[in-house]
Amino acid sequence: MGRFDGCLLASDFDNTLIYTEGALRTGQPVPPLSARNREALEYFMAEGGRFAVATGRALAAFLHYAEMVPKNAPCVVCNGAALYDFSTNEYLETTTLDDDARRRGQLILEQFPAVAVEAYHIDNVIHAVHPNEVTRQHEHLTKVKVTETPTLLEVPLPLGKLLFEADHAQLEEVCAFLERQGWSEDYELIFSGRTLLEMTARGANKGGMVRRLAARLGISMDHVYCVGDEANDIPMLTAAAEGFAPANCVDAVRACGATVVADATADALADVVARLGEKYR
């Protein structure tokens, strides 16, 4: 038996497992997974642990990078709206938005003309309405070209999430607009970056899907550990037996009680595995 038998480790991808912010800002390629992180994850799995990525990215936006990452458990994608098994190339679970979300999203675009939205279709097509500079940066980062569509009403269902893109102040206004309409309680609304506002079905977040993944694997939440840097990671960080955050995390993640480890540029996952090694001797 390995020292990590019965343990699940789930990690965010961007700016946690791999630091991608530099690529986003400069247009340079996304760096590879560091050798130290790779060795740590391979050791964790060889000792019986199950490792999964839990990303806000849609499947289409993560596929290009999936082979870079050693993993032996299904992965949380679309910010918790879906669970995907890369060993069988199939969705295991999905929680999609209803048509009201599409209609309400279109009203937001009409109210805020500078705001763009990416609509994540479950069949791996990313549609975009009113694409802006943030959308183009996101295309570079994900290596997926969006399919431009005149209105959200013309985007086909089912959708895993809507991703609103604009400067932070405008996205805060979008949140306030949703609250004034009485719609905010119908969805998970959470920032995955200062220029990115995620909208998924109520209950569709990383924490909820990590719980469902653990149940599928027969692993108690007492032995589930999560790592993430942004506000959209908080639901899984607080659901875990212990949540970890790279030192580059946002203030809200620090405030949630996550254990701060090395910066994402300094092999945060290797630091996490080393700490788990001390816990599971």
pTM of model > 0.85: yes
Quote the crossing angle between the two packed helices 168-181 and 99-111, to the nearest 10°: 120
88 and 107 assigned to the same domain: no
Are residues 75 and 159 located together in one domain of the fold?
no
The pLDDT score that the predictor gives to residue 210 is 98
Question: pLDDT under 70 in the chain at which residues?
Answer: none
Which residue, of 201, 232, 252, is where some domain finishes?
201
- Find out whether 82 and 115 touch, Cβ atoms under 8 Å: no
* Of 168, 201, 234, the domain-final residue: 201
Name 188's Cβ contacts closer than 8 Å, sequence gap at least 6.
79, 80, 198, 199, 200, 201, 202, 203, 204, 205
Find, among 117, 116, 122, 124, the residue nearest to 97 by Cα. Answer: 122
CA separation for the pair 171, 114 (Å, rounded): 10
Q: Is-contact 200 235, C-beta < 8 A?
A: no
Range of the domain at 190: 99-201
Q: What is the pLDDT of residue 25?
A: 82
Cα distance between residue 116 and residue 177, in whole Å:
16
Output the domain CATH number for residue 181: 3.30.1240.10
User: What pairs with residue 76 in β-bridges?
Assistant: 54, 83
Indicate the residue among 172, 201, 230 that finishes a domain.
Answer: 201
* Domain co-membership, 72 together with 107: no
Q: How many domains does the chain have?
A: 2
In this predicted structure, what is the pLDDT of residue 170? 97
Largest CA distance in the chain: 58
Q: What is the pLDDT of residues 222-240, one digit of tens each?
A: 999 999 999 999 999 999 9
Residues 36 and 58 in one domain: yes
Say what the pLDDT of residue 140 is.
85
